[in-house]
Amino acid sequence: MCGIAGYFGTRVLPLRSVDRMLDALRPRGPDAERALQWTRDLQATNEAAPNGLLSTRLAIIDLRAVAEQPMANIRRDVWISYNGEVYDWASDAKTLMAAGYEFRTRSDTEFVLHAYEHWGIDFVRRLRGMFAIAILDLRHRSLYVVRDRFGLKPVVYARRNDGFAFASTVRALLPWVPMESRTFSAEGIDAYLAHRTIPAPRTIFAGLDRLRAAHYLRYDLRTGGLSDHEYWRPEGSTEPWLSTFDDAIGMRMVADRPVGLFLSSGIDSSAMACRLAGSGYGGLKTFTVGFPGTDYDESADARIVARRLGFPNVIVDMPSGIAEDFPRIVAALDEPFADPSSFPMWYLCREATRQVKVALSGTGGDELFGGYKRYGKHVRTRWRSGIVLPWLRSSGRIGGRGWRRLVEELRLDWRSAYVLRFNAFSLGQRMFLEPDFAPQVHYWRMPKDTGSTDLEALLEIDRLNYLPEYILRKDDLCSMAHGLELRAPFLDHRFAASIRSLPAAAQFTKPAKLLLTEALSPIADLDVLSRKKRGFNPPIGGLLDTHLAQRLEGLGERLATLTGGQISSAKVALLVAAWRAASNSLGEQVLQLLILDESLRQLITLARMA
């Protein structure tokens, strides 16, 4: 697991800018780092140059220096900078060795490098795992940048007349961008208000884009041409789901450093814990977030599961005060990002990395089995079929989300209206906060092919948007901020294919995930399947009333300045006053504005650095 970056073109990048890129990537790869440069005619150099590859390494497999990156082939005409982990590649490696490729390491990095040499860019379809890969092919004067199927690993990029650059994070890419071009995107700000995050392909900066999941870019170093290719879409398979699940878990336990498990009281992580216990992984450390004294707390139930299976369990209590850590957490999230569960996830990862360097998580189960309540709620509105009433007007008001959201839903087709079930600020609220800006209703991408059922349509929308741009972004940023590799067996694409091929009656059940009963057999008497699904969010009211209260003073003025007047100072003051008058509502929106304020302040400071 690593941080990666690269830049190619005609403009020489000062070495101090390269150092700033490495500084931004260092938390993702604390064990080693390297930057290589090439001249305009692609000759290696130690001087400032227009072309370069960067890597910071979190060493998980083959800890020797020989496995560090950027890595080259024997002829040094193909290079790789790679973030992620690829599994189950032994059989393909034998094919490569039979074809004459020499392996000097045990690392998957070298396998990926030789796989590209042998099969070309189509090699990506063979990979099983999570990855963001950059391959510089000096033979063909080409650069490929690839993002994994579900989007577990991030890639952002910029393309200008004088070149192309990419990085794992926005903050690592920013030093390549000329200072006069480091400007915030008005659409990016509004997309954040709408979704709590900024969905691909947008970012918070104009001219910086995010690579979509299951896509790769090809940049022609001779012509400057850039092309974008989709290489995968979900499909079914005939593999038996339980053995495929076991394989997906087992291969993610392979590491040269300690491995642990994030364990909640829910079905997904409990199912993994049961299968690991049955496979002989006794003594595996498990980690659980606690919210003492609140309804959110599920640590007692998680501890019961851990004890039953013989696993040590570490409870990581959410701190009562986060004011001191607030800027660090916002910085770790790279851009404005307002999932409240990022706070406990950040603390969970911080504690886990003190004891392990790899952790398995249950991320992805709800998206495979339709586990969120919003799916059923939206399917029940399918009665309106193709009814769209575009003449209805959204009102720029703070409150009244009930009937105003209904109005907004009726202005959209049924599929697009699903987005509003997970919006942050409604369209009317955004119109209120941004009186001189014309916001889009939403910024999610709608799929062309949504499957054969209404539920499958919603799952496909989430695969393109909610999963990669919200859930997986949070997991990646919070874990990598502490140099922790987080692995998600439920998002093994072969396991997902085995589930996708099942009859709908088996995949989508009430209650959800009854299929996993077999995996949960060691703890069947605990009746995990019947437990009420709990959120992972901290109690927001307490944070705003106490630890973050001082930040509310002058919030409107600061946001108006940071956004160039896009957000109205007076309207922010009215929203905060409305929250104070009825603190049971608008709390998430107020927290979202506080995060935006801190994030933009940090980013503008970075943008002003030469």
What is the Cα–Cα distance from 151 to 327, expressed in whole angstroms?
A: 26
Residue 464: predicted pLDDT:
96
For residue 452, what pLDDT is reported? 74
Residue 542: band (very low, low, confident or very high) from pLDDT cuts 50, 70, 90 = confident
State how far the Cα of 117 lies from the Cα of 119, in Å rounded to an integer. Answer: 6
Q: What is the mean predicted confidence (pLDDT) over 355-384?
A: 92
Residues contacting residue 159 through CB under 8 Å, at least 6 positions apart = 209, 219, 226
- Beta-strand relationship, 285-290 and 313-317: parallel
- Cβ atoms of 260 and 253 within 8 Å: the answer is no
Give the tens place of pLDDT for each residue, 190-202.
999 999 999 999 9
Report the run of H or E that residue 472 belongs to, with start and end.
helix 472-480
The mean pLDDT value for 234-256 works out to 97
Instruction: Measure the N-to-C terminal CA separation of the chain; round to a whole number of Å.
Output: 29
In this predicted model, what pLDDT tens digit does every residue of 206-220 receive, in sequence order? 999 999 999 999 999
Question: Could you state, in order of their start, the residue ranges of all structural domains in the chain?
Answer: 2-230, 241-370+465-530, 383-452, 540-607
394: pLDDT strictly greater than 70: no
Number of helical H runs and strand E runs in the chain: 24, 18
What tokens does 89 get? 């590649």
Task: Read off the pLDDT band of 525 (50, 70, 90).
Answer: confident
State percent of the chain over pLDDT 70: 95
- 241-370+465-530: CATH topology is Rossmann fold (3.40.50)
Structure tokens at 389: 């009433």
pLDDT given at position 393: 58
| Burial of 532 (C-beta count, 10 Å sphere; 0-12/13-18/19+) | exposed
Confidence at residue 352, expressed as pLDDT on a 0 to 100 scale: 98
Amino acid identity of residue 29, one-letter, is G
Q: State pLDDT tens for residues 114-140.
A: 999 999 999 999 999 999 999 999 999
* pLDDT higher at 365 or 531: 365
Residue 382: per-residue pLDDT: 85
Per-residue pLDDT of 40-68, as tens digits, reads: 999 999 999 999 999 999 999 999 999 99
162-171, 286-295, 355-364: least confidently modelled range: 286-295
Torsion sign over Cα 253, 341, 206, 211: positive
Q: What is the 3-state secondary structure (H, E, C) of 67-115?
A: HCCCEECCCCCEEEEEEEEECCCHHHHHHHHHCCCCCCCCCHHHHHHHH
Residue 397 has pLDDT above 90, yes or no: no
Class of domain 2-230: alpha beta
pTM for this model (two decimals): 0.95
Q: How confident is the model at residue 536 (pLDDT cuts 50, 70, 90)?
A: low
pLDDT tier for residue 488 given thresholds of 50, 70 and 90: very high
Binning pLDDT at 50, 70 and 90, where does residue 385 land? Answer: low
| Cα Rg of the chain, angstroms | 24
How do residues 416-463 score in pLDDT, each as one tens digit? 899 988 889 999 899 999 999 999 999 999 998 766 789 999 999 999
Same fold, 2-230 and 241-370+465-530: no
Q: Is-contact 589 552, C-beta < 8 A?
A: no
The single-letter code of the amino acid at 399 is: G
Average pLDDT, the chain: 93
- Residue 91 φ then ψ, to 5°: -65, -40
